[in-house]
């Protein structure tokens, strides 16, 4: 009996010790909370609405809870537990309270709820019929991602590149070669960068001293990508060049959001224009207009800021290069408007930048003959053409031009375009240009020729189709309609453009992606002329080149997965088949008369025996 009493006393003492230990911990917690609360900044105004009045008896302080707990423990009835040796328990044993604190074990409490306690078991779960129907619908092909995206990986280093030399840069020797090709084959005509400035930028990137911004690395990737595009059109082209150009394009695309919200600078405009050129020369050229429009808006803003004297930075502004970049954006924007049948970003009346010097000291914008002194400023010619295109859009092709005499305005623009065509480049025949120019310069001349023809074709189609500015003459349906017309005012220009195509390589290259719409329009115009003009007979060499063009259009349609391009190519293919059939019939009529059928002296048919 004495042993039982002593055991009960030990249990009571142990229970009271636990209560004291709990009280001590709670008091320490209250003191810690008060100390942390005093360190917090005081709010001057009440951020939240006060709680509504309530009964004070409903709230109990922490000390009162402790006193109540002590009383309940002291009054708790003592029960004799079964004699169980803890060493015989084979499960997980965890000590609590003061026992754990004395054991020397880690007693840190996890505040995350147990997954087993929160998540119900789904072993016996039966999905409803609606759920199964929705799940089956999500497996349809319409909800699947586009093909090809599984190979496109986005590297986080592009979004926030480090200042060290990126692994995406090629070897220094190859990088120097690509920079030289960019400056010679592209920048000479477009005058996008000062050669020394972009060369210094590439050198800084290789030395690991880049500031690490998206603009810095995107500018470097633009140079490398355009250089690979130009190399893909050269004599040393490899299938990898276009793939590498697309690779650098994919490295830039994740940084677009950062570029669009960056501060307006000349470097940003140059980067956006370069990005637009990379997209225009790729198999997905439609989104390039967004970047061209943004670049033109920023360039116009910089021009206004410069004229108003509101520049706040102490840096010296390269006014000449800033104007060049503006005109480059303006040329691309007007050309995009002509090709897409959409409005332009800026009107001619809003331009405040003066016309650039046609003979600059650095000769940027000019093409020179491979041999001899022949030289022409192609950049200035493109600007004059862009101004005429802007007039055509504002006075003839836009919806806002409905009030005036559109036919008179169209004839006026056509006459001015004809006067512009009388320049040093267009006076040369395509064969002469091939002898005069390097291949890269010949590509730029072809792009100007295509832009000029697209403008003339659009105006003539506008006059032929009821003067409706909403009709896009480059669409497959409208090309089929124009194929049935007998009169084509742009036939001579279309024939010259197709002749230019005989001088360049075909296939999946940048220039073919850029001018695919004018080429289809020229192809339709020339073949429609041959169909409706009995005395017009294309030569066998011309038919061979037409077949080559059709093959190129097929390659572009399959590579770009462009249904509209494929339909337009089918229109061209049908016209080509009709012309080819007509030539075969004509050949048979001229040569098949000696197989046994002849004409007698009486004029009647007779059979030879």
Over residues 261-312, the pLDDT tens digits come to: 889 999 999 999 999 999 999 998 778 888 999 999 999 888 876 655 555 4
Query: What pLDDT does 55 receive?
Result: 52
Global confidence as pTM: 0.70
Closest among 556, 505, 549 to 233, alpha carbons compared:
505
> Higher model confidence: residue 17 or residue 407?
407
pLDDT > 90: percent of the chain = 43
Q: Of 368, 415, 426, 371, which Cα lies nearest the Cα of 391?
A: 415
| Amino acid 529: pLDDT | 93
Given this model, what pLDDT does residue 595 score? 54
Q: Which of 325-334, 483-492, 494-503 has the lowest mean pLDDT?
A: 483-492
Residue 81 pLDDT > 50: no
* Whether pLDDT at 26 is above 50: yes
The mean of the pLDDT values for the chain is 78
Give me the phi and psi of 151, to 5 degrees please.
Answer: -90, -5
pLDDT digits (tens, 9 = 90+) for 306-330: 655 555 455 678 888 999 999 999 9
The mean per-residue pLDDT over the stretch 80-96 comes to 42
Q: Between 447 and 288, whose confidence is greater?
A: 447
Q: How do beta strands 597-599 and 375-377 pair?
A: unpaired
Report the Cα 99 to chain-centroid distance in Å. Answer: 66
| Three-state SS annotation for 506-535 | CCCCHHHHHCHHHHHHHHHHHHHHHHHCCC
Residue 586 neighbours by CB under 8 Å, 6+ apart: 537
Q: How high is the pLDDT of residue 589?
A: 78
> What is the tally of helices (H) and strands (E) in the chain?
25, 4
The predicted pLDDT at position 456 comes to: 96
Write the CA distances from 365 to 3, 127, 146, 233, integer angstroms.
Answer: 110, 68, 40, 20
Q: Model confidence at 528, in pLDDT bands (50, 70, 90)? A: very high
The better pLDDT of the pair 88, 186 is held by 186
Q: Give 152's pLDDT tier (boundaries 50, 70, 90).
A: very low
Return the pLDDT at 330: 94
Inform me whether the pLDDT recorded for 107 exceeds 50: no
Amino acid 249: pLDDT = 94
In this structure, the strands spanning 597-599 and 605-607 are antiparallel
Q: What is the pLDDT of residue 103?
A: 37
Q: Is the pLDDT reported for residue 31 higher than 80?
A: no
d(C-alpha 597, C-alpha 81), whole Å: 128
369-425 per-position pLDDT tens digit: 888 888 899 999 999 999 999 999 988 888 876 666 888 999 999 999 999 999 888
Note the pLDDT of residue 318.
Answer: 86
What is the average pLDDT across 85-94?
A: 42
Give Cα 594 to chain centroid, integer Å. 63
Q: What is the structure's pLDDT at 77? A: 53
Q: Where are the beta strands (DSSP E) in 193-280?
A: none
| Cβ burial 237-256 (10 Å sphere, 16+ → b, else e) | beeebbebbbebbbbbbbbb
Q: Which of 40-49, 468-477, 483-492 has the lowest mean pLDDT?
A: 40-49
What pLDDT was estimated at residue 362?
81
Separation between Cα atoms, residue 40 and residue 36, nearest integer Å: 7
pLDDT confidence of residue 9: 53
pLDDT digits (tens, 9 = 90+) for 559-587: 988 899 999 999 999 999 999 998 888 87
Q: What pLDDT, in 10s, does the model give residues 219-270?
A: 999 999 999 999 999 888 888 999 999 999 999 999 998 898 889 999 999 9
Q: Higher pLDDT residue, 349 or 309?
A: 349
Q: Residue 106's pLDDT is what?
A: 38
CA angle 180, 214, 278 (to 5 degrees): 50
* pLDDT tier, 25 (very low <50, low <70, confident <90, very high otherwise): confident
Q: Give the helix/strand (H/E) hosting 599.
A: strand 597-599
Among residues of the chain, what percentage have pLDDT more than 70? 69
Give me the residue spans of the domains in the chain: 428-589
With bands split at pLDDT 50, 70 and 90, how would you rate the model's confidence at 170? Answer: very high
Which residue, 141, 549, 146, is CA-closest to 538?
549
Write the DSSP symbol of residue 466: T
Q: What is the mean pLDDT of residues 121-133?
A: 59
pLDDT band at 163 (very low <50, low <70, confident <90, very high): very low
Report residue 108's pLDDT band, with 50, 70 and 90 as the boundaries: very low
């Amino acid at each position: 009996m004495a042993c039982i009493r002593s055991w009960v006393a030990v249990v009571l003492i142990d229970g009271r010790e636990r209560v004291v230990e709990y009280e001590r911990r709670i008091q320490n917690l209250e003191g810690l909370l008060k100390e942390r609360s005093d360190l917090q900044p005081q709010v001057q105004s009440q951020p939240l609405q006060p709680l509504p009045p309530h009964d004070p008896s409903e709230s109990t302080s922490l000390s009162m809870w402790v006193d109540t707990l002590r009383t309940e423990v002291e009054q708790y009835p003592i029960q004799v537990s079964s004699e169980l040796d803890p060493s015989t328990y084979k499960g997980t044993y965890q000590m609590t309270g003061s026992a754990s604190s004395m054991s020397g074990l880690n007693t840190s409490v996890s505040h995350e709820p147990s997954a087993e306690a929160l998540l119900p078991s789904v072993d016996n779960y039966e999905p409803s019929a609606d759920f199964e129907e929705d799940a089956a619908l999500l497996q349809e092909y319409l909800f699947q991602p586009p093909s090809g995206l599984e190979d496109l990986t986005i590297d986080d280093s592009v979004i926030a590149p480090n200042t060290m030399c990126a692994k995406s840069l090629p070897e220094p020797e190859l990088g120097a070669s690509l920079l030289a090709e960019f400056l010679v084959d592209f920048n000479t005509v477009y005058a996008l960068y000062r050669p020394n400035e972009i060369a210094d930028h590439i050198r800084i990137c290789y030395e690991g001293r880049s500031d690490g911004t998206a603009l810095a690395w995107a500018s470097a990737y633009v140079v490398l990508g355009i250089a690979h595009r130009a190399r893909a059109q050269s004599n040393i082209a490899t299938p990898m060049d276009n793939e590498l150009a697309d690779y650098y394009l994919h490295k830039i695309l994740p940084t677009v959001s950062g570029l669009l919200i960056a501060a307006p600078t000349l470097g940003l405009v140059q980067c956006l224009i370069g990005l637009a050129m990379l997209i225009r020369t790729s198999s997905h050229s439609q989104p390039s207009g967004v970047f061209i429009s943004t670049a033109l808006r920023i360039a116009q803003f910089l021009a206004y800021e410069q004229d108003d004297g509101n520049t706040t930075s102490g840096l010296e502004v390269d006014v000449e290069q800033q104007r060049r970049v503006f005109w480059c954006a303006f040329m691309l924007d007007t050309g995009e408007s002509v090709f897409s049948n959409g409005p332009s970003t800026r009107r001619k009346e809003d331009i405040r930048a003066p016309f650039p010097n046609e003979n600059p000291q650095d000769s940027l914008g000019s093409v020179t003959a491979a041999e001899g002194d022949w030289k022409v400023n192609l950049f200035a010619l493109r600007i004059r053409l862009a101004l005429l295109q802007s007039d055509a859009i504002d006075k003839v092709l836009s919806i806002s031009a409905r009030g005036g005499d559109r036919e008179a305005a169209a004839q006026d623009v056509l006459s001015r375009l004809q006067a512009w065509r009388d320049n040093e480049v267009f006076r040369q025949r395509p064969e002469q240009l091939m002898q005069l120019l390097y291949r890269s310069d010949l590509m730029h001349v072809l792009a100007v020729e295509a832009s000029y023809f697209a403008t003339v074709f659009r105006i003539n189609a506008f006059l032929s189709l009821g003067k409706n500015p909403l009709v896009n003459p480059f669409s497959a349906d409208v090309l089929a309609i124009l194929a049935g017309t007998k009169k084509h005012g742009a036939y001579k220009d279309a024939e010259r453009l197709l002749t230019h195509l005989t001088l360049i390589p075909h296939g999946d290259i940048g220039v073919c992606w850029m001018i695919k719409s004018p080429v289809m329009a020229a192809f339709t115009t020339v073949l429609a002329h041959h169909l409706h003009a009995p005395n017009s007979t294309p030569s066998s060499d011309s038919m061979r080149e037409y077949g080559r063009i059709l093959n190129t259009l097929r390659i572009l349609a399959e590579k770009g997965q462009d249904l509209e391009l494929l339909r337009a190519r089918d229109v061209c293919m049908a016209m080509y088949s009709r012309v080819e059939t007509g030539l075969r019939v004509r050949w048979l009529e001229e040569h098949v008369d000696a197989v046994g059928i002849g004409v007698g002296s009486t004029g009647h048919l007779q059979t030879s025996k």
